[in-house]
Structure 1
């Protein structure tokens, strides 16, 4: 493809994306295809000869679009937001166009140094401590996801608690990791991947009122494991759990970790970006004093398309000790000088994309004020929705709901609990199959509840109100 052909087709693609956003509301929110339906329309074998790009665009419309679930739809209330925005898309296009492989500083200095700037900017915008800055003992890095961030944190924690031996000798003792029942499953997966093992993931009780981790039970479990000869290695406290956005008491959990010498990883994948609003920074109470690592996803609620997960370390030393290997083909004067950051030592893969470009584009286009407006709009719409649920006696509202997620369920007093749960699930599926909106569910205290997550920049009050009326109609 010549530069002129790229220019012509590139304009068509940008126009296609712009038209898609202008008309996204006309699509059913959740894809209506059945398993195998998309594949059945695609050739079984690759083309022998090249095809014109117009054919790709035709198949995109005719074959692929029916199989797309529209995460940017204003009536997408499932999971958590997966924000995309014009500036982020354009920043990603620039990154793809440059084709940078930023594994070390020398392979593209701008890739590394822009990343250090945007993670420091973000630390400032979120009110995070000074030692999380890249010009301090800690520092920040853009990962692909919070799952990778959790894996890196586990590796760093193992390195620290072993006195540096795990990276060289491997795990020689039983190590333990601590989560609550509402902690994201990525922590249990990380325990498997680093060799701690699923059987050594300890489940900490939660407060029945807040669903936050119980520090007293955490301390008791750690004491029990120490007595059994285990090595308590990492605790994950969550700010905004996936099920309900419950917030673990980071300060109290951190005090236990500090006393016991255990690494505290704070997973704020969804909720952390809310701290761009000063009035919401209470969610990070205890982070500055106690967190060894902290993660939040710009690609959920901060207008930056996937993938863009931010990980900060209070001390980057254990992480680099765990991950740094310098083969001869990567040796260069800049690395040898010790004056630069080589982000290959801050992640599991060697290679890395120029992700900072899209976050930089978002920060410059919206500014802090624009980001705050976006977060505040989502919170306000969610709180208004919660008020409607609270005022309707046919529904039960789960408290608390401080951010953009509201959990609730219909009341079926005539049904036994198990039958009511099944009826709730069927209600959700009928709404989702309609294509008019998209919800997900979870289980809290053994009961099925519906999740209504607000956060798309396309979502307006009229969409939330229409969704609520459709839910009311469905219950009858």
Structure 2
């Protein structure tokens, strides 16, 4: 593509995106297509002769938009936040254009050092344990998702528990991992991939607030030791996906320290809230964590993918994941002065993900990010109060931060029907979960463009539909 065309078409693409954001709230939040509909709009084989860029861009409207569930709609309340911002989008464009492959310091010095430095910024901004700083024993690295982060943590824990033997000879010791029933499914997947096996994955009981019970964790660990098994990994969560429950980090960490078990804290969904001092009590005891993960791509105005993993001891991660073929040797790495982030992750290659985080932090500053977080929490409390005032509804799980779970008092079938009706309007999108024996609707507020009028309009929709369901 000639330079003048690149500039012209690049401008057209940005104009399309700007127009998209201007009217995204008018689009049906959930794509109203059936499996196969989008493929049926595409030719059976790719073109042999290149097509005009104008024709390609036209298919953004003809093919892509009708098949898109709009995560950036202000009326998207499903799953978890996935908010983004202009600075993040532009940084991602620059990153794609430069196409840095930052596997080694040598192949991307700026890519490596900006990442190291920005993650140190966040340690200070969020008042995280100072051992997570790159200048101390630990450090941070950007993974693609929390699933990859927890897999790296499980592998490091496995190697620490077996003194590195499982990487050499395979897993010979029956290791056991622990998490609550509310823990994200990625933890069990990591346990499978790492060769531990689901049979060695223990589900710890939760209390009335759906938080892990440290006393039950202690009992399960003790029972496994008596049975000749080796406990090696515990995962606590600050902000579970299902109910946004918060595990008691300190007492769980104390059990892990006492039992010499790796302690991982997953705050993928809610970790960004640590920017706000009034919510840092949720992270009390984080100094016990051997590893800690949160996702800027959920609630820090930074687009997917950008998942931060911190470790107390960088050597645990590097020694578990490092492979050193001759063709990757560099004199900078040999000096110990440069980080090669290939040794901190499963893949060899890596993108310049830190660029967008750097842009976002510089553009908004921590005060700007705090504003958005506090606003989302305030909107959540506002709408939760309205639900609580309605005698037809029950709030099953009150909001700790930016999500609550509710149901119709008339039971599961009515609640299921209400959720289906809400989503069929195209004006809002919510999802469900099971809490105890209750089928509940999750209302999660966190998109960048969501304002008070959006949540109030959605509440009006819920009220109107409720009359027909009831």
Report Cα offsets for 1:141-193 as digits up to 9, x if no partner: 00000000000000010111111212222211111110111000000000000
Q: Counterparts of 1:95-244 in structure 2 under 5 Å?
A: 95-207=95-207, 209-244=208-243
Q: Counterparts of 1:374-393 in structure 2 under 5 Å?
A: 374-393=372-391
Q: Report the equivalent of 1:325.
A: 323
CA distance in 1, matches of 2:152, 2:133: 18
Shift of 1:5: 1.2
Matched, 1:462 2:453: yes
Q: Counterparts of 1:336-351 in structure 2 under 5 Å?
A: 336-351=334-349
Shift of 1:26: 1.3
Shift of 1:350: 0.4
CA distance in 2, matches of 1:18, 1:238: 37
TM-score (norm 2): 0.98
Between 424-433 and 340-349, report the one with greater CA deviation. Answer: 424-433
CA contact (8 A) 2:243 2:397 kept: no
CA distance in 1, matches of 2:4, 2:134: 41
CA contact (8 A) 1:88 1:359 kept: yes
TM-score (norm 1): 0.97
CA distance in 2, matches of 1:349, 1:469: 47
Between 25-34 and 350-359, report the one with greater CA deviation. Answer: 25-34
CA distance in 2, matches of 1:285, 1:245: 17
Shift of 1:398: 2.3
Unaligned stretches of 5+ in structure 2?
none
Between 165-174 and 319-328, report the one with greater CA deviation. Answer: 165-174
Q: Report the equivalent of 2:423.
A: 432
CA contact (8 A) 2:184 2:240 kept: yes
Shift of 1:279: 0.6
CA contact (8 A) 1:159 1:319 kept: no
Q: Report the equivalent of 2:353.
A: 355
Q: Counterparts of 1:72-91 in structure 2 under 5 Å?
A: 72-91=72-91
Q: Secondary structure at the match of 2:441?
A: strand
Q: Secondary structure at the match of 1:136?
A: coil
Q: Report the aligned-residue RMSD.
A: 0.8
Unaligned stretches of 5+ in structure 1?
413-419
CA distance in 2, matches of 1:231, 1:472: 53
Shift of 1:399: 3.6
CA distance in 2, matches of 1:399, 1:426: 20
Matched, 1:452 2:443: yes
Q: Secondary structure at the match of 2:106?
A: helix
Q: Secondary structure at the match of 1:142?
A: strand
CA distance in 1, matches of 2:385, 2:225: 47
CA contact (8 A) 1:210 1:400 kept: no
CA distance in 2, matches of 1:99, 1:70: 27
CA distance in 2, matches of 1:309, 1:52: 37
CA distance in 1, matches of 2:88, 2:189: 30
